[in-house]
């Protein structure tokens, strides 16, 4: 004898299936911090927006803990080859770590800063045909067909910030598309100097993140 399912029982079964599907859809690689690149694990993030000058600067504010740094495809963020500047506040800070990674559509360099007094770093980033050391004016050898000169502002000497400064060039991971070299300098008159060698004069954007303080440079693959 075939038992007939009541309309109420059929409705309950449909609801149970829908709940199971919704719960399964909440998971994924993005929810597992182990699967994220190291520079994607942070406690603050914003979506970059163009600066008044038309360049792609943006300032972050504190957000929910554990949210990743923005990793939108290259076509989703504005970028160009114009000079990009931002003023610092507070500090002084020291650059304590520099990391390089490849993301979907762009290569990224992250400058992490710290200090005994809270602050937000500023910067001036531009392409240069004559990479030179601050103070001495000596030419700096940078690999690649084009060079981005990076001056991070709002910084101080370790005796002022209370933390050690990073001066060793970072290791470059395999698989980078446009970044070919990263050469670090040192602090001079409130500016920390670095150079990024690229395969061509590619569009870029610069923005900052908080907790910890970071200046992020993204160079588009195209």
Per-residue pLDDT of the chain (222 residues), as tens digits, is 444 444 444 444 444 444 443 434 444 333 333 223 444 433 333 334 333 333 333 333 333 233 345 555 545 678 999 999 999 999 999 999 999 999 999 999 999 999 999 999 999 999 999 999 988 889 999 999 999 999 999 999 999 999 999 999 999 999 999 999 999 998 999 999 999 999 999 999 999 999 999 999 999 998
| pLDDT score for 158 | 95
Tell me which DSSP letter residue 87 carries.
-
Residues ≥6 apart with Cβ < 8 Å to 176:
100, 102, 107
Q: Which domains does the chain have, with CATH numbers?
A: 42-220 (2.60.40.3500)
Tokens coding 198: 């690229």
Cα gap 107→102, rounded to integer Å: 4
Alpha helices in the chain (DSSP H): 7-24, 158-161
The count of C-alpha atoms lying within 13 angstroms of the C-alpha of 55, restricted to the half-sphere facing its C-beta, is 21
Q: Can the peptide bond before residue 212 be classed as cis, meaning omega within 30 degrees of 0?
A: yes
- CB count within 10 Å of CB 158 equals 13
In contact, 112 and 99? CB cutoff 8 Å: yes
The CA–CA distances, whole Å, from 45 to 42, 169, 174 equal 8, 26, 26
Question: Quick one: which of 89, 79, 137, 84 has its CA closest to 115?
Answer: 89
pTM over 0.75: no
Pairing, β 94-103 against β 122-128: unpaired
């Amino acid at each position: 004898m075939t038992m007939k399912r009541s309309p109420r029982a059929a409705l309950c079964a449909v609801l149970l299936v829908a709940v199971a599907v919704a719960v399964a859809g909440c998971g994924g690689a993005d929810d597992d911090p182990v699967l994220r690149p190291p520079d994607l694990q942070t406690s603050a993030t914003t979506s970059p927006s163009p600066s008044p000058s038309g360049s792609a600067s943006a300032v972050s504010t504190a957000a929910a803990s554990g949210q990743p740094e923005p990793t939108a495809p290259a076509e989703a963020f504005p970028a160009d080859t114009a000079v990009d500047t931002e003023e610092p506040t507070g500090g002084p800070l020291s650059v304590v770590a520099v990391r390089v990674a490849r993301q979907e559509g762009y290569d990224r360099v992250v400058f992490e800063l710290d200090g005994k007094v809270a602050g937000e770093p500023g910067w001036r980033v531009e392409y240069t045909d004559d990479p030179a050391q601050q103070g001495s004016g000596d030419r700096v050898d940078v690999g690649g067909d084009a060079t981005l000169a990076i001056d991070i502002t709002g910084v101080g000497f370790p005796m002022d910030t209370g933390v050690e400064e990073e001066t060793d060039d970072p290791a470059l991971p395999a698989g980078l598309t446009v970044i070919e070299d990263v050469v670090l300098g040192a602090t001079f008159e409130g500016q920390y100097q670095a150079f990024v060698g690229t395969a061509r004069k590619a569009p870029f954007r610069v923005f900052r993140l908080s907790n910890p303080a970071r200046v992020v440079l993204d160079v588009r693959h195209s």
